[in-house]
Structure 1
Amino acid sequence: MPRGTTPDDLLLGKFVKILEDHKRYREAELLDATAIAGGFAAGFDFAMQACKTSGIVPPTHLVHEMMSSPWFEKGSYADDICQELLKKDGSTIAS
């Protein structure tokens, strides 16, 4: 039974678009498949690792949105990369 679109689907879709805009098509396709499968925590890790590896700095509001998701795991690769990006930006996330 198909599930409905969630805010986390939409968020990962934004990261798919960012990767596509930077011509990282393979990564975008893998992230899209992860989102379709509902692997949000893994998708967040993959999205942030793909951005970091590609030198892509996602918009700060998307980093905050990701960190606010119930699927976001503290201490994960995504968390480490998000914290690093926010430090560079001078931004913080409320705990």
Structure 2
Amino acid sequence: MHRGTTPDDLLLNKFVKILEDHKRYKEAELLDATAIAGEFAAGFDFAMLACKASGIVPPTHLIHEIMSSPWFEKDSYADDICQEFLRRGGSSVTP
């Protein structure tokens, strides 16, 4: 039985697209599989780690969306990297 699309699915799909746009296909595929499995907390960690490792700074509104998710875990990799990106400001992602 399919669980249906959630806001967190859509959010992780935005990060899949960002990774694909930056030709990080392996990371995009892994993140997509994580989203399909419904592992949102792990997906947020992976998305932020992949962006950081690739030098990608996501748009601020997406960082805030992650941090607003009920699956977002304080003191996680995602939390640390989101805080770093917010301090840095600016996005490396073109609209």
TM-score bracket relative to the smaller structure = over 0.9
TM-superposition CA deviations, 1:27-46 (whole Å, max 9, x none) = 00000000000000000000
The count of corresponding residues between Structure 1 and Structure 2 is: 90
Could you state the TM-score of these two structures normalised by the residue count of structure 1? Answer: 0.93
For residue 77 of structure 1, report the CA deviation from its aligned partner.
0.1
Please show how residues 25-40 of structure 1 align to structure 2 within 5 Å.
Answer: 25-40=25-40
CA positional deviation for 1:12: 0.0
How far 1:87 sits from its partner (Å)?
A: 0.9
Counterparts of 1:9-88 in structure 2, within 5 Å, are 9-88=9-88
SS of aligned partner of 2:3: coil
Paired AA for residue 12 in structure 2:
L
SS of equivalent residue, structure 2 residue 41: helix
**Structure 2 unmatched runs, 5+:** 91-95
Q: Give the % identical residues.
A: 86
Secondary structure of residue in 2 paired with 1:56:
coil
User: Counterparts of 1:88 and 1:22 in 2: how far apart (Å)?
Assistant: 20
Offset of 1:17 from its aligned partner? 0.0
Large movers: runs of 4+ above 4 Å: none
Query: How far 1:89 sits from its partner (Å)?
Result: 1.5
User: TM-score normalised to the size of structure 2?
Assistant: 0.93
